[in-house]
A = this chain, B = another copy of it.
């Protein structure tokens, strides 16, 4: 296949590979996998079909690529939010503020591509269990947030809080993707704020 991403020979590529992947990530994120046709992909990317197939492989392979890229980006976003949030239980509240700000943004309304894909495409992409991968990595980030709050690891408390916040955030992503205005999202975030206040 196309292992040589920076060939020195032959006609040079007219499009930026990563920029196209970013554009298509947004497209899949908005529309879902099944609702997005190759024609849509051609339109959104401005790249003709044969070039897409030569560069990224089939639609499934392209989507797998998009998912991996998205996963890395999203986990990085979590990591950054957590770092910004700071220590203590107040840090968790700060994290919720940051998460809510993203949730009510235009992109936030689309929820999470990973949550969407794991609902739509369970077991469709061969050889890559992205839903487990995502949940594991996301939970790892939340675990860091909880530990950073001062909770001691290994007692079970930190782990239970981690699981609670993880499941809660997955649910919030469902709410975000469906029709829910900023006020409703705020209500759901406030519910977790109240719980965190008891920690």
A177 contacts B by Cβ under 8 Å: yes
Given known A32-B120, A119-B119, A124-B35, contact A167–B161 (CB-CB < 8 A): no
Residues on B with C-beta less than 8 A from A167 are 168, 171-172, 175, 188, 191-192
Categorize the interface residue count of chain A: 35 or more
Q: Are A177 and B34 in contact (CB under 8 A)?
A: no
CB under 8 Å from chain B, chain A span 30-77: 32-35
Task: Give the oligomeric copy count.
Answer: 2
Contact of A132 with B by CB under 8 A: yes
Residues 124-167 (chain A) with a chain B CB within 8 angstroms = 124, 129, 131-132, 135, 157, 159-164, 166-167
Q: Which stretch (A7-15, A16-24, A84-92, A110-118) binds chain B?
A: A110-118
Which listed residue, B131, B164, B171, B198, touches A170 by the CB 8 Å rule?
B171
